[in-house]
A and B are shown apart, each in its own frame.
Chain A
Amino acid sequence: MATVDHPQRLARSGIAADAASRGWAAALHEWTTTVDHKKIGIMYVLMSLVFLVIGGIEALLMRWQLFYPRAEVIGPNVFNQLFTMHGTTMVFFVGMPILIGIGNYMLPLMLGARDMAFPRLNAFGFWITLFGGLLVYLSFITGAAPEIGWFAYAPLTEHTFDRNAGTDFWALGLLISGIGTIGAAVNFIATILGMRAPGMTMRKIPFFAWTMLWTSFQMLLAIPPLTAALVMVLFDRQLGAHFFDVQNGGSAYLWQHLFWFFGHPEVYILILPVFGMVSEVIPVFSRKVLFGYEFMAAATMAIAFISLGVWAHHMFCVGMSRTLDLYFAAASLIVSIPTGIKFFNWLATIYGGRVSLQSPMLFCFGFLSMFLIGGLTGIMLAAAPFDFQLSDSYFVVGHFHWVLIGGTLFGTFAGIYYWYPKVTGRMLSERLAHWHFWLLYIGFILTFGPMHVSGILGMPRRIYTYDPSRDWEWWNQLTTIGALVQTPSYAIFVYNLIASLWKGKPAVDDPWDAWTLEWTTSSPPPSYNFETQPIVHSRRPLWDLKHPDDPDWQYE
């Protein structure tokens, strides 16, 4: 099989190369002022990894406290701060930025564009997101981290109940980083719809672009209501307004509606790009085209729309009317149809393929097996009567970690293992990758599996300790041990990322024998991405190049 050659290789943009050739001060200056989508993408990912470590430490502290009944490792207030910061960090400063970062790096390359549509907005978005994260963490330094949960239920956030500045830092930080997220969404949409290579019609864009498009669409519709709600909280706290001030006629119920109108689509913002990444990886490592591209694209759109109308399944226990309960349960169950379509299409892509179990594909299998279970517990919770029993219990914590780690994280790792050679020009160590995978997989099942049981046994979420008479300790201890099993896997991953920059096997332009445009340019890509403007005739432009005698466009 022929590969695509590039006669000259010009300026490169790898981190190590930069630092080595120019000295740290110059490199730092270059990185802080850059508007190159690739550098910005890398910075987003690095920022997320730092926050991932911080969020992980917070989780370990909570698990330490819950290992024994009546433990006194950390008090109730610190525990509240920890679960607030943990959830906030993971959703806003790990999940979204890592996906935005990968999208930023890869999309222009996959679409055959020179850069994102608005490079300066892109840089602005990154810095303001980082600034928002730092602002939220600044609350620790003032000795008053927020104690309100990532959902910040009113009226606990009102000044009457919470004089702590932490809540203000929290609201302001999320507000600011939300503006960055909207900027990113605007940029993605403009890039995908307006900057594609000649010949790349919407029916030919890489599948990852479809999912980034719909994720961006959800960001546009879901983040501004959160922004508005955060403004309202700040007005209540700072100016004496009454939006959520129940003593003066305000409504705690309104907060829940606004928050979950954001919060539910948010979980799809966190999963759709991952659907895209595994849809890039699975075909390449099965040596088959993605099965049912059109159906997959339509299903993505359906998910994006339906999930805007199901938010109140987080509110069954608030006491809505029977009619609303019914509507929101039914609408939530409908989401499983397009999700199921995607799932079967992935299986059909693998079925009959020549599957190779290298690390990106391994993580896809992790994703497929675990996301299935997480989806099923979601369907259970969407049945209102079932939710009446288990809402606010550890079962819910089990469900959403199962989808967020089994889904978002495994899929993101698949993407990182897949694209690392392109970004750095080096291969990651497969041996370490397998250690990473298995420790994470086993540790993850051990951590979050038992949560479903402790939830069914009646353990509420957000409690900082429990009585031995409840018989919950065995399950909690399993969970904590699982967390300890997971921990080294992240360390191995980070070590692999760093060590391979220097020690990794040099990567060729197209190490996986893949089919999308990013693999035609050098690894790492030059700052201008492509030496000549690529022209596209099918969904697999590289296949066409490699097989001029039997190109795809004949069949599409």
Chain B
Amino acid sequence: MSYLTHADLGGQPGFGPVTPEPEGELFHAAWEPRALALTLAMGATGSWNIDASRAVRETLPGYENLSYYQIWLGALAQLMLQRGQVFPDELASGEMRHPAAPVARVLQAAAVPAVLAKGSPTQRPEPGPARFAVGQPVRMHLGKVDHHTRLPGYVQGKRGVIEHVHGAHVFADAHAQGQGEQPQWLYTVVFDEAELWGEGAPRQNLAVSVDAWESYLEPAA
């Protein structure tokens, strides 16, 4: 019963070179834009939030061998199956065989531009004073949690410095688990390459930052 993400890739070895592609190339099969649009349209029904959908995508069986839109599509099906919005026999047949479960809203064509332009801002009123300030050294929490998190493995336990305070934002870990928004202060934390990759790693004249919620951090001397 432990949470297993397949998506936490930062610093992992063995994936080979990056293959650039031309700027105009967006899709590689006819079904991909439909899969994208279905995902966005169902997301707009308000049946789940983005953090919950990320949780399903990153734990999807076979993640490593699926193309990007296959992951999206697999997760979309999973989210709807979980909520009784579709059933396996319907996905297989393409025919409605069970009554529809009502959704909060349906994205109409005419509303698409306004809905996209509005987006879903995550900034919220500040819950209290920020615990950390720009320039302050911090240590990232160590150890895996048993749920979706936005704290990548490669920075866990590492010492960094607060570089920017972003205000309070919806806390992804809680939001993904259906525990509400629980907004927390969000910080940009910057790390030295030796801290992340060890003194022996080849030097690149590099610094890396992540955006981290307050509960990911503790003060460091």
Determine if chain A interacts with chain B.
no
